[in-house]
Every structure is written in structure tokens, then in C-alpha cells.
Amino acid sequence: MARRRKGLPIHGWINLDKPPGVTSTQAVSRVKRLFNAAKAGHGGTLDPLATGVLPIALGEATKTVAHAMDGEKEYLFTIRFGIETETGDREGKVTADSDARPTDAAIAAVLPRFTGEIDQVPPRFSAIKVDGERAYDLARDGADFDLAPRRVTVLSLALEERPDPDHAVIRCRSGKGVYVRSLARDMARALGTVGHVSRLRRTAVGRFTEGGSISLDNLEAFGHSAPDSGHLLPVETALADIPALALTEAEARRLAQGQAIAALPVASRSPFKDISQGDMVSAMLGDRLVALAEIRGGEIRPLRVLNL
């Protein structure tokens, strides 16, 4: 017999403001326990030292995590010039130092070089797998290995503040897969010095923003009443940027059974006129999300069916 899942069928998102010193996995576990949820996941890892927006999915919302992780992200990070570390942040062992400090004008001038599609080598201390092993495990063991550069997209970079010659605060908007620690390392080197991330805060993940987040302490202060605190957001929150198509009862039933339905009748009822082949859509029955689906070959084909 299949083992029965513990916890309640609670579905939705928590827009958590992760505190420093807590891993993303630990934050998910604490929220899951607080809501007594049967299932939980998160929409994009934050380093333990980082703070800010960590969307946590409960129940059927976990089926939309991949879409949340693909969303645009925004970070505010501080580069500490003059010191490079093995981890790319202030926790790591110092591997290089420099007396050179860039001017504000030099920093502003180098930012366009790191904007757009760029090739980026991830930090050695990262969760990327190398021959089946996590890079950070290999790095801790002193293994000799190289990580291949990856093509990533940085949408914008701006110098926000220069508290002193040793530090620069940068605002970054990016697509998925960008490592801020690598960005800081490479920018510092391009400026003729070395550097690491001394502070990192994520201010947005898609539609999840800093202004709408709740701290872990405040959420835990609700105790057993957390599920009724008003901070559980609908499953569709992560899908706000894709078209929502209205279904009939019969169409919803077919999609829920994993069967494709004809796209034309559904599209004719939709205000979205620019839907095309390969587009992802939210298939809705009234206010209920039935499935994440894809337009393909004149059909709406379910990718993930939700049981709400």
C-alpha cells in the first residue's frame, strides 16, 4: 500500500521575506510545519546569507513552481571591493586581495558589459552538479574541477549607492539562472580589482514582491492561526503573467482527465488575440485553476493538472 501523506491539503503561495542565516530548505520546512501542509516547495533558492523574497508553494501550488522560477527577478546587492573569496560571499576563505578601488564613473561605465545575454561561470560553491556531485560538495573536499560558462540574461544593472570606496550597492533585474556572486566577482575583475558579495537581498520574483512579503517571525507569530491569517495567496498568483482561458464544464472535465481539447472554441471566448503555438496558458473553470496547459497543433494540451 502507498504510504499516506501527512498533513493537510492546503494549496497556495506564501510570499516569504527570508531572514539571513536560514537556508531556503529550512524556511520551506518551517512554513510547511506552521501550516501543517502535506506538500511544500519554493520558487528559487536564496543563499543562507541572503534575505528577501522567497515564494513558498503549498499543496497544488508546487505544480506551478517551475513557472515561478522562470520569472523575472530583482536583487539589491553590495560588492565589497578589494577581497575575493572562494565562495563569492563574506563567509568564504580569502583567495585574492587588491588595493585598487574603482570610481563611481568606472562602475557605471562597466555595467553595460554585464547587461543583456552574457556568458557566466557559476561559483564553485553552488548547487550545480558535476558528474552527479554537487559543486559545493566537491569544492569543500578540495576537488579540482571546472564549471562551464552558461548563457544567462541580465535585464538591467544600476549603481544605487556608494557608501564608501570599499563598497558599491547595485540593483539587478535578471532572468533565471543568474548568480549574483559570479556577477560581483566578474564586475570587480573587469574594474581592475577583486570583490565579493557582502550583502544580498532579493526584492522580487515575478509577481512576488518585497512590499507584499511577510517575515518568517511575523508569520510564525500567528501560530496555529497562520492558515487563516490572510497571507496564503491563490495558486494562480505565480501565473499572473500568462493568459487565462475560460473553460466549460465539459472542457474542464476532459483537461482534468489529461485529455486535450480543441483550442478554437476556447480561444474564441478569450480576450487574448495573440496566443500562438507553444504558448502556456492557465485553463480556468470560473475562479478555479484546472490545469497549466500548452497550445499545440490546434489543441490545448494539459501539462500539469491541478486538483483544487
Q: Which residues are catalytic?
A: 47
Helix (H) or strand (E) holding 289, with range, is strand 288-296
- Going by the DSSP 8-state scheme, the letter that residue 32 receives in this structure is H
* 32's grid cell: 510547511
Closest listed residue to residue 271, CA positions, set 238, 243, 249: 243
Instruction: Report how far residue 140's alpha carbon sits from residue 106's, in angstroms, rounded to the nearest whole number.
Output: 35
What is the sign of the dihedral through the CA atoms of 165, 166, 172 and 178? positive
Helix (H, G, I), strand (E, B) or coil at 181: helix
CA nearest to 204, candidates 234, 243, 174: 174
First-to-last C-alpha distance (Å) of the chain: 24
DSSP code for 115: S
Cell numbers linked to 288: 478555479
197 near 123, Cβ under 8 Å? no
Rounded (to 5) percent helix, strand, coil in the chain: 30, 35, 35
Dist. CA 73–CA 123, nearest whole Å: 19
Q: How many helices (H) and strands (E) does the chain have?
A: 8, 19
User: What is the DSSP track for 215-271?
Assistant: EHHHHHHTGGGGGGSS--B-GGGGGTTS-EEE--HHHHHHHHTT--EEHHHHHHT-S
